[in-house]
Amino acid sequence: MAADPQNDTIVSNQPPGVSHAFRFCPRCGHAHPNPGQSPFQCSQCGWSYYFGPVSAVGALIINDQRQMLLVKRARDPGKGMLGLPGGFVDAGETAEQALQREVREETGLEIEGAQLLLTYPNQYRHCDFVVPVLDFFFQCRPVDASCLHLADGELSAFQWTRPTTEQLGRMAFPSNRMAIEKWLGMG
């Protein structure tokens, strides 16, 4: 299991939580005597910062044949592994808007009928630190599945499939697997 990125406990192969990057107060520049505390609190100026999770969305896009769109990731984290279309929610966006935007950017598809299936904590390795994430998974339908074309660079392949155990073993993120297993269990 991965370490709690908000906590001091770090397993050997896991980068530290992002709280460890805050070695100085971003407001006044005072050195923190013990980086990694959450929330960050500056003893000099009193500024504090909470390392809450960022929001992300994942799309379980289901076609008329009850097949799901799985994509192969072209970049780290999880290069060469399978995933669901999706990404981070921008400030000011709803999760549903982020879902539409990310699916459009990554696959060219327009989606409809989005329904929240489940949420699950995730972690994202970024610049040698681990950022806590809360994933929102939505089930949805493509408006026209024939419009699918992958964005250059981010994804290298796609497949419409009823996900198998072997495919679930190649998912880049455990949270994606959890969401797919829930959908499969719903018949």
For Zn ion, the binding residues (CB under 5 A) are 25, 27-28, 30, 42, 44-45, 47
d(CA 160, CA 149) in angstroms, rounded, equals 13
Instruction: State the minimum distance, in angstroms, from the CB of residue 185 to Zn ion.
Output: 49
**For residue 119, how many other CB atoms are within 10 A of its CB?**
15
Pair 40, 49: CB distance under 8 Å: yes
Write phi, then psi, for 20 (nearest 5 degrees): -70, -15
What does the DSSP assignment read for 7-47?
SS---TTSPPBGGGG--B-TTT-PBPSSTT-SSEE-TTT--
CB nearer to Zn ion: pick between 28 and 184: 28
Q: Nearer Cβ to Zn ion, position 31 or 184? A: 31
CB of 25 to Zn ion, least distance (A): 3
Give the three-state DSSP class for 148.
coil
Q: CB 104 → Zn ion: shortest distance, Å?
A: 41
Q: Which is nearer to Zn ion, 42 or 62 (CB)?
A: 42
- Closest CB to Zn ion among residues 51, 124: 51
Q: What is the smallest separation between the CB atom of 42 and Zn ion, expressed in angstroms? A: 3
